Amino acid sequence: MARFDLTDFEWSVIQPLLPNKPRGVPRVDDRRVLNGIFWRLRTGAAWADIPARYGPHTTCVNRFNRWRKAGVWDRLLDAISKA
């Protein structure tokens, strides 16, 4: 686990709020992808510079955008502010 990766408590608050619609291809772990998204937002680096430990950078950017359009980020921020 990297320095700023989600703790088990943080993950326990966030995980139930994430959409889980399996598609044809096995999903990259949501916790891993979230840590990659947060790494990118924290550093300001380009999406392509996300470390490989977080999965493919294309997965991170696609999931970030898909969840933004679906309102997932708003629900997460609301839940975290209440935790």
49 vs 36: CA distance, rounded Å:
10
| C-alpha gyration radius of the chain | 12
For residues 22 and 27, what is the distance between their CA atoms, to the nearest angstrom? 7
Assigned token pair, 6: 């989600």
Q: Would you state the structure tokens that stand for residue 50, as one six-digit string?
A: 């996300």
Local confidence band at 83 (pLDDT 50, 70, 90 cut-offs): low
Domain-wise residue ranges, the chain: 29-82
User: 10-61, pLDDT tens digit by residue?
Assistant: 899 899 999 887 777 788 899 999 999 999 999 999 999 999 999 999 999 9
Q: Nearest-5° angle of CA 77, CA 30, CA 40?
A: 65
Alpha-carbon distance 28 to 54, whole Å? 9
pLDDT score recorded for residue 21: 75
